[in-house]
Amino acid sequence: MTAMNLIQALNSALDVMLEHDPNVLIFGEDVGYFGGVFRVTDKLQEKYGATRCFDTPISEGGIIATAIGMGAYGLRPVAEIQFADYILPAYDQLVSEAARLRYRSGGEFSAPITVRSPYGGGIFGGQTHSQSPEAIFAHVTGLKTVIPSNPYDAKGLLIAAIECDDPVIFLEPKRIYNGPFDGRPDTQVKTWAGHPQADVPEGHYTVPLGKAAIAREGDEVTVLAYGTMVHVALAGIADSGVDAELIDLRSIVPLDIDTIVASVKKTGRCVIFHEASRFGGFGAELSALVQERCFDHLQSPIDRVAGWDMPYPHAFEWDYFPGPRRLAEALKRAMEYN
């Protein structure tokens, strides 16, 4: 085991897979010689050569199109989109091609690609370095969407994603690359040092796609979260004094519906917490699923705490970002409902 931050854990996953499987290739803008703007591919070109880890033209549509072609040939490409905000030029390739290639060819061709991309706010990145686009991928059948919340899961999930025979969108919460973030911008910046989930095995292991983790056990309310918001939720739960059970979804497609249902049946209450704006967000799907499957067990309305319905506003980062206070209020509301 080695202490790793989230960046190092991802780098280690890529390193293991390059070593392990000659069909794995890594490419994207600035990922080659430079090692990526967030250093996730640091030293991989040096170690494995330029044909295993290389730079691309600035063309997200081109990056994903070529990844799909390589995948169809039999490789396992891992493409990086520098910021999830810039994945949209590739959306057609993901939706119309990657997601359907196996189905429409009657199983003749498929696209076993992994698309890594840093996402989310809390870094004063303004409207084009802050967005959380998970819902627009979750809506597309044929794509898997994975979001880790700590170094251990990040490495295990990324290896599982690369080994997966389906296209996987792997969203990396960049605010917690270097340390967990509790949603309070005015407190001391934390690193991953000493965090139990920053203890990462050096070799190959996987964390299965579609299996949620219980980040905190509790009896009174179920909180559903993923990515950065897992840490913000822990702070909000502590503030609220409510004995909440926190589920870290880890992958939103496939979704671990059994863990969610078991928890809500136990607690009788559910609050969904995500950074993306609320309307049509992934929380809407979660809310519908919980209502459909746990209606007779619910003691209060399902609530959603999310970003406001607007572009991410630079000066108002912390007015937009759903912090621990808003979650704590929702938890108390759920408990007071009768």
Ligand X SMILES: Cc1ncc(C[n+]2csc(CCOP(=O)(O)OP(=O)(O)O)c2C)c(N)n1
Binding site for ligand X (CB under 6 A): 29, 58, 82, 86
Task: Give CA–CA dist 304/190, Å, rounded.
Answer: 27
Shortest distance, position 129 Cβ to ligand X, whole Å: 8
Shortest distance, position 256 Cβ to another protein, whole Å: 30
**Token pair recorded at residue 264:** 């809500």
Instruction: Return the half-sphere exposure (C-beta side, CA atoms, 13 A cut-off) of residue 176.
Output: 29
Q: Which does 125 bind (CB under 5 to 8 A by kind): another protein, ligand X, none?
A: another protein
Q: Which does 279 bind (CB under 5 to 8 A by kind): ligand X, another protein, none?
A: another protein
Task: Give CA–CA dist 10/25, Å, rounded.
Answer: 15
C-beta closer to another protein: residue 30 or 219: 30
Is 78 within 8 Å of 14 (Cβ atoms)? yes
C-beta closer to ligand X: residue 80 or 248: 80
C-beta closer to ligand X: residue 50 or 58: 58
**Token pair recorded at residue 3:** 């202490």
Site for another protein in 205-264 (CB under 8 A): none
Residue of 96, 128, 187, 191 that binds another protein (CB under 8 A): 128
Q: Looking at residue 118, what DSSP letter applies?
A: E
Asked about 129 being catalytic, the answer comes back as yes
If binding is defined by CB under 8 A, does position 187 make contact with another protein?
Answer: no
Q: Which does 214 bind (CB under 5 to 8 A by kind): ligand X, another protein, none?
A: none
Task: Give CA–CA dist 125/122, Å, rounded.
Answer: 8
Is 54 within 8 Å of 27 (Cβ atoms)? yes
C-beta closer to ligand X: residue 90 or 242: 90
Residue of 194, 315, 336, 338 that binds another protein (CB under 8 A): 315
Residue of 129, 174, 231, 269 that binds another protein (CB under 8 A): 129
Q: Where are the alpha helices (H) located in the chain, listed in sequence order?
A: 6-20, 44-48, 60-73, 91-92, 101-104, 134-138, 151-163, 228-240, 257-267, 282-294, 317-320, 324-336
For 216-229, give one letter per residue: b (16+ CB within 10 A) or e: bebebbbbbbbbbb
Is 332 within 8 Å of 239 (Cβ atoms)? no
If binding is defined by CB under 8 A, does position 124 make contact with another protein?
Answer: yes
If binding is defined by CB under 8 A, does position 96 make contact with another protein?
Answer: no
Q: Which does 194 bind (CB under 5 to 8 A by kind): ligand X, another protein, none?
A: none
**Token pair recorded at residue 256:** 């671990």
If binding is defined by CB under 8 A, does position 69 make contact with another protein?
Answer: no
Which residue in 20, 129, 231, 297 is the catalytic one? Answer: 129
Site of interaction with another protein (CB under 8 A): 29-30, 32-34, 37, 50-51, 54-62, 85-86, 88-89, 124-129, 278-279, 308-311, 313-316, 319-320
Which residues are designated catalytic? 129
